[in-house]
Amino acid sequence: MRVISSLKKLATVVVCIVPVVGIGTVVAAEQEYSGEEIVSHCEYKNPGADQTSVLSIVLIDKDGNQRKNEYRRLWKFYQGEKDVVDKMVLYTQFPPDAKGTGFMRWGFTSESKKQADQWLYLPQLRKIRRVSVRDPGDSFLGSDLSYGDIDDRPVGADTHKYKGIEKHSGVEFYVVESTPIDIRDQYSKRISWYAKTDSWEGCSRFKTEYFDRQGLLLKVAQLVWQRVGDAWIWDRVLVENVQTRHRSVFQVTDVTVDVGLKDKEFTERALKKGLK
């Protein structure tokens, strides 16, 4: 099931690895909502209580050379209980020489000021190592998304300016410019496009442009979502670093939601044991 069929058609072209381009011109429009309202309703969607899925990431360099990694993913939402937002485990399925490698991440609320806890299990050594994240701008699994991009980010971490409505192929988008309050942030600003639908329930983020600290466009992400029950999960995401011409394509398949994952699935013991 897809969020909006026209968005799916548009994103299918994007994920076929064509250059990332603008999707239209912002149209001056009477402001219906504030930027903060749009972000509050459209950015934060219901992920379900937990999820299992297969996550594949294809990395493509500027010369078109590709490298694929595939993981079995377990994820559970903790809603800030004891400062924990979520827990995730990735078990490598491809390439074959990395099969059995496990990665676990516990994400914490921004209010806790805690860095995420991470562990890596290397089957060849039969050892688990703690993996530290020194900078939110560090690459997530070698991709063009950073750890900061996937971390919990409260609405109040930015000022959100509504820029108008942009139309493309019959689809309307709210355009919002978000500027970090913390000047040390990895980006100077982000501009996001959110699908304008009949209700907030159907509104979701379609595209984000990220600008570096010098104010230059750094990368562009385009997203397609899938619905599983009431939960929203990535379907396909293309991220392109326009400065290096490196791209990352994320695809999420074989999704199940609200399966009742136990806390014991997100422990060092489980990581070492691997999938049953």
- Give residue 115's Cα distance to chain centre: 18
Note the pTM of the prediction, 2 decimals. 0.86
Domain of residue 148 covers 5-273
Q: Hey, what are 30's tokens?
A: 């009477």
The amino acid sitting at 135 is D
13: confidence class by pLDDT, cuts 50, 70, 90: very low
Alpha-carbon distance 187 to 179, whole Å?
8
Q: Which residues contact 247 (CB under 8 A, 6 or more apart)?
A: 17, 59, 60, 144, 238, 239, 240, 241
Segment 43-98, tens digit of pLDDT? 999 999 999 999 999 999 999 999 999 999 999 999 999 999 999 999 999 999 99
**Is residue 160 within 8 Å of 191, Cβ to Cβ?**
no
CATH number of the domain to which 107 belongs: 2.50.20.10
Average pLDDT over residues 26-35: 66
- For residues 261, 267, 270, 275, the Cα torsion angle rounded to the nearest 10 degrees is 50
Read off the pLDDT of residues 98-111 as tens digits, 9 standing for 90 and up.
999 999 999 998 88
Q: Tens of pLDDT along 190-236?
A: 999 999 999 999 999 999 999 999 999 999 999 999 999 999 999 99
Radius of gyration over alpha carbons of the chain, in Å?
19
Domain count across the chain? 1
